[in-house]
Structure 1
Amino acid sequence: MKFTIHLLLIAFLMALAYAATESKQIIVSYPKDTPDSVIEQAMAVIKEAGGVITHEYKSLIKGFAATAPTKVVNNVKALGEKYQAIVEDDQVVSVAGSSS
């Protein structure tokens, strides 16, 4: 009985800890002339905060996709003085078709 109560308590505390570190999926893009060091610095900030870089973009756009704690997103936006980051929610985009 005590084991079950302890197990439930641990599960509850883990759920609270997970909820406290809410994350979101984002895409961060930069102007084409942005040095790689600026992008690497932004990725390092996300990783240090417990986020994960899910994809790096190098051909069509300069930037990356990540799952990052919500609290760190504004920090990434504020990093670039000369090279401003555009941070967007990573989401599915669809085109609604019409028939005539």
Structure 2
Amino acid sequence: MKVATVIIAFLGALAYATSTAQSYILTIDEQQPAWKAKLDDLKSLVKQAGGRITHEYSLVKGFSMELPAESSKGIVDRLESFASRLKCKLHIEQDQEVHAFGGHGSFN
């Protein structure tokens, strides 16, 4: 019985790991009133929509998240709409690799 449980858990983790998810970074302007509560509300919305918070930042106020690929655009739109109703200034962008020298080349 325990082996079956382990196998099911492994298959579930494997399915989650191989599913296509898109990563985004959300940051919020901390100069606005009640930014902490607004940030908490935005994190709750991500979780309710089927997303996952992957990291919370302290230097800038925000978090990174993984959203299901098939519904990521709709979730981002919902976050922006919700932020507008909260009168919340935020920025959402898809997480991607950044290069300081415009590419993968050498330092010539």
- Corresponding residue for 1:53? 53
Tell me the secondary structure at the aligned position of residue 56 of structure 2.
strand
Q: Provide the aligned length of Structure 1 versus Structure 2.
A: 80
Alignment deviations for residues 41-68 of structure 1 (CA, whole Å, 9 cap, x no partner): 111111011110000112x211100002
Equivalent residue, structure 2, for 1:76: 79
* Residue 67 (structure 1) aligned with residue 62 (structure 2): no
1:26 and 1:72 map into 2 onto residues whose CA distance is: 11
**Corresponding letter in the other structure for 2:100:** V
Q: Which moved more, 1:73-82 or 1:47-56?
A: 73-82
Displaced runs of 4 or more, over 4 A: none
Q: Distance in 2 between matches of 1:84 and 1:33?
A: 9
1:98 deviates by: 4.3
CA RMSD of aligned residues (A): 2.2
User: Rg: which structure is higher?
Assistant: 1
Q: Which runs of 5+ in 2 are unaligned?
A: 1-14
Percent sequence identity over aligned pairs: 28
Structure 2 length normalisation: TM-score? 0.64
